[in-house]
Amino acid sequence: MVNLEVVDPHQLVSYLFNQCGLQIDGDKVQTFWQHHRAVKSPFMDVYTGGESHIPLGLYGDGARARQIAYQAPEKVIGLFLNVPLFRPKSARHARYLLFSIEEELCFGRKTLNAVYNRLTWSLNHLFHGRWPTHGPRGDRLTSPKAGSLITPDGKQFAVVEHRGDWSFMKWVFGLKSSWKAGTNAPVCYQCRAYGKGPLSERYYHVGENAPAWSTEHTLVSFLAEEMPATDPCPFISLVNFHHDLLKFCQMHVLNLGLLFTANGSSLMTLVDSNYFQVEEEGAPLQRHLDAAYKHFRAFIKMRKIQCSQGPFQEKMVSKSGGEVVFTLKAFNGRVVTEWLSHCLGDIASRPHDDDRIPLTYVAMILGSNTLGLSLSQGSTR
């Protein structure tokens, strides 16, 4: 047995708003809720709060802490809280660690279930804006703050998202959907789409009349079909819980679903055009990648971009079914997208005979703007 510390969200929020002076514009809060009502966000079907509740977000993920030769990698898991409408210049100033643990200390899902039980208890008190009168196990608290307002002006708070990648969500919440199950299970936690078999049309067809839209889970069917029958994650007892609150990390979704292909195709377009000026005719791909990496390092150095991307290797560029895939870690993929859009823009500004350049350039610029970097092409916003 190991004792681990957890930061209670209501304690953290009290510190941020009462001691640090964090302020959120009331008009922005009201606009937030009005927007979600207007677009009919699914979680609004069960939301019982008002338009003055300040939105909160949770984020969970695992990371490799270090790798010792010939040993299994050491991994750590972290849970963070943020205030979505608080957007300082540096995102690091808006992410607050609630809990962390070495992955090897986790006893299956039970360890994080205990953590989520306490976090959910705390977040539910934030929804009502008052200090708890009873602990997470029902014991009466004797603190002089018990039952009083968390902030002097009675601010209330509501969780509007829980972000994470697929592997984290599946593990923590015990989701039954899986990319690896083939015809045995759906691939999506929000609908009954299958990756293979007769029902795979629900996965591949995403038009306005796609069958998937008629099989979307209700809250009840999500709990019945996706959550485990025993030891479900206590987060489902959050006030106004809805499975729409579970949000996949945008960076990972775009990287795995789009950037692998977009970056790969753009890179090979530049290689075909010999943009990196490899003098040897018919040089192997690795020679072009070495020259491309040298160009990439000069690009990020000039713009003072911090990026951990190592040398480009031929094994990182694979061709399958006519598509070229350039596999990179998520953040590095964003920076490479920015660099590739810069290179394509350079070619597009000069005479060339490759019809792919203009369209590819526009597509990559849109990708850069979507990802929020736009370091080299700020005027294209």
Residue pLDDT, tens place only, 295-338: 999 999 998 888 899 999 998 987 766 678 898 888 898 899 99
CA distances from 203 to 179, 184, 211, 278 (A): 11, 14, 9, 43
Residue 295 structure tokens: 């160009």
Q: Is the pLDDT reported for residue 377 higher than 50? A: no
Per-residue pLDDT of 245-270, as tens digits, reads 999 877 677 777 788 889 999 999 99
In this prediction, residue 33 carries a pLDDT of: 97
pLDDT band at 378 (very low <50, low <70, confident <90, very high): very low
d(CA 309, CA 255): 15
Higher-pLDDT residue of 372, 156: 156
In this prediction, residue 182 carries a pLDDT of: 60
d(CA 143, CA 94): 29
pLDDT band at 281 (very low <50, low <70, confident <90, very high): confident
Query: What are the φ/ψ torsions at residue 37 (nearest 5 degrees)?
Result: -70, -40
d(CA 318, CA 324): 6
**Please, what is the end-to-end C-alpha distance for the chain in angstroms?**
53
Domain boundaries, the chain: 9-175+227-248, 251-380
C-beta separation of 76 from 97 below 8 A: no
In this prediction, residue 372 carries a pLDDT of: 66
Residue type, 311: P
In this prediction, residue 352 carries a pLDDT of: 80
In this prediction, residue 376 carries a pLDDT of: 43
Residue 257 structure tokens: 């679903």
- Average pLDDT along the chain: 88
| Helices (H), ranges, the chain | 9-14, 26-38, 110-128, 166-173, 201-204, 219-225, 250-254, 260-272, 285-302, 330-348, 356-371
Higher-pLDDT residue of 261, 70: 261
User: Around Cβ 84, how many Cβ atoms within 10 Å?
Assistant: 14
Q: Is the pLDDT reported for residue 353 higher than 90? A: no
Lowest mean pLDDT across 13-22, 82-91, 249-258, 326-335 = 249-258
Per-residue pLDDT of 193-244, as tens digits, reads 776 665 555 556 667 777 767 788 999 999 999 999 999 999 999 999 999 9
